[in-house]
Amino acid sequence: MVAKLSTKVLNICIASICKSKQLGKAENVLIDGIRLGVLPDVVTYNTLIDAYCRFVSFDAGYAVLYRMNEAGINPDVISYNSLISAAARKCLLSKSLNLFDEMLQRGIHPDVWSYNILMDCLFKLGKPDEANRIFMDIVLGEFRPSPATYNVMINGLCKNGYVNNALALFRNLQRHGFIPQILTYNALINGLCKSRRMGAARRILKEFGELGYEPNAITYTTVMKCCFQCSKFEEGLEILHEMRSKGYTFDGFAYCTVIAALIKTGRIQEANEIIEQMQSNGIEPDLVSYNTLINLYCRQGKLDDALKLLDEIEKEGLECDKYTHTIIIHGLCMAGNFLGAQQHLNYMNTLGFGFNLVAVNCMLDGFGKAGHIDHALKLFEAMEVKDSFTYTILVHNLCRAGRFLSASKILVSCLKCGFKILRATQRAVIDGLISIGYTNEAKKLKSKIRMVRLLH
């Protein structure tokens, strides 16, 4: 009895230390506990799994599973749920699905949470139909859906472009007595803002206020990002101000939203000012904050400072992710250091990141912008995977080089593949053809574009 109680105390202690991200300290407490005869249990290890996944890396979290085995403690459904959801958070979706199988093979029965997470994964993989099947299984099967089941559905539908279905589900559930939580509203507001349904977003926000909910940090960040997307910079910065006065800027979320928006629109000086605010407020940078900072350095051509931060990330015990590396590769390309960019791309490969289309697209754009259009074409032909960005970049750069006929050819092949291409880029090709006297070709291209639009 005494030992059991002590383990409980140990768990509470470790959970609270983990919450403040002091994993080393948590490990020491664990060791001290064992020395005093207080043995960790499955909850202790589950807490550690979650903390390592959250603050270090998925692999570090997964490693705790081995430590449990060595300690003779069997993982339970929560251990696996934590890992599956951590993998999903880090976009390692095939890992999530494999873990789900691993859990079944070990004879651990999934609970409704496992299925919620599985649905979330399928939505993130862009498979709303499969997610919907799981939803039906839950609703019609042996499990009782939890409020989270509905939240995952609403969020997933929004993310996959089915905002109307999400709204319909939301209204239906309300009629059946479902009490929406703040996060239900947050998911809907985010979905509506992203699909530029500002009127509907405002109505939901109003309803939310009328129910007596106070917007939380996430609501604020969502609405703030929306302001920047609509070029309402003043309003966006006002929201940041309000968040600061309410104490909602205890982490990097709000700052990173603002800084990224400012960088995108070339407001580098203002971005630097916000970074200073963030640093003077003593916000400990997490990986995304570091990535944002590195991006800001790169935009100012301070590659050395950016690379220094790379070391700092590792000193902090964090692991650079695909964003970090892509930002560096983009920075190197913009500085004209293609050799360095290629080396970094290879380095990513040795780290096990696999093929990274965003980084290769950066290289493609870099070649084009530096005037090496033939290099760009060679790279383009060698690429096995392409997306709408790839085509837009190449067409855009061909136009810049005055090679409108090639641009037109690539544009048509892009439309044939069913990829979308920016209207402005299409316009550039047509105008370019006309400018060099190829009026007929311009006409033909226009009608081809119109045909494709009808067919899709």
Partner DNA sequence: CTAGGGTTAG
Structure tokens at 265: 């629109």
To DNA, the closest distance from the beta carbon of 36 in angstroms equals 23
25 and 57 Cβ atoms separated by less than 8 Å: no
CB closer to DNA out of 99 and 254: 254
To DNA, the closest distance from the beta carbon of 80 in angstroms equals 9
Q: Which residues contact 237 (CB under 8 A, 6 or more apart)?
A: 258
401 and 371 Cβ atoms separated by less than 8 Å: yes
To DNA, the closest distance from the beta carbon of 333 in angstroms equals 9
Task: Kindly write down the DSSP assignment for every residue of 305-329, as one continuous string.
Answer: HHHHHHHHHHHTT----HHHHHHHH
116 and 153 Cβ atoms separated by less than 8 Å: no
To DNA, the closest distance from the beta carbon of 439 in angstroms equals 26
CB closer to DNA out of 6 and 388: 388
To DNA, the closest distance from the beta carbon of 252 in angstroms equals 3
CB closer to DNA out of 108 and 393: 393
Angle at which helix 2-19 crosses helix 42-55, to 10 degrees, equals 10
CA distances from 87 to 53, 58, 93, 190, 231 (A): 8, 6, 6, 23, 34
To DNA, the closest distance from the beta carbon of 35 in angstroms equals 25
CB closer to DNA out of 213 and 438: 213
CB closer to DNA out of 252 and 432: 252
Q: Which residues contact 317 (CB under 8 A, 6 or more apart)?
A: 23, 56
CA distances from 230 to 198, 225, 226, 259, 306 (A): 10, 9, 6, 15, 30
**Does an H or E element contain 61, and which?**
helix 58-70
Residue at 342: amino acid letter: Q
To DNA, the closest distance from the beta carbon of 209 in angstroms equals 14
Q: Is 448 helix (H, G, I), strand (E, B) or coil?
A: helix
Structure tokens at 113: 């949470």
CB closer to DNA out of 36 and 183: 183
CB closer to DNA out of 116 and 132: 116
CB closer to DNA out of 94 and 439: 94
Structure tokens at 406: 């090639």
CB closer to DNA out of 35 and 383: 383
To DNA, the closest distance from the beta carbon of 358 in angstroms equals 4
To DNA, the closest distance from the beta carbon of 441 in angstroms equals 23
Q: How far apart are the first and last CA of the chain?
A: 68
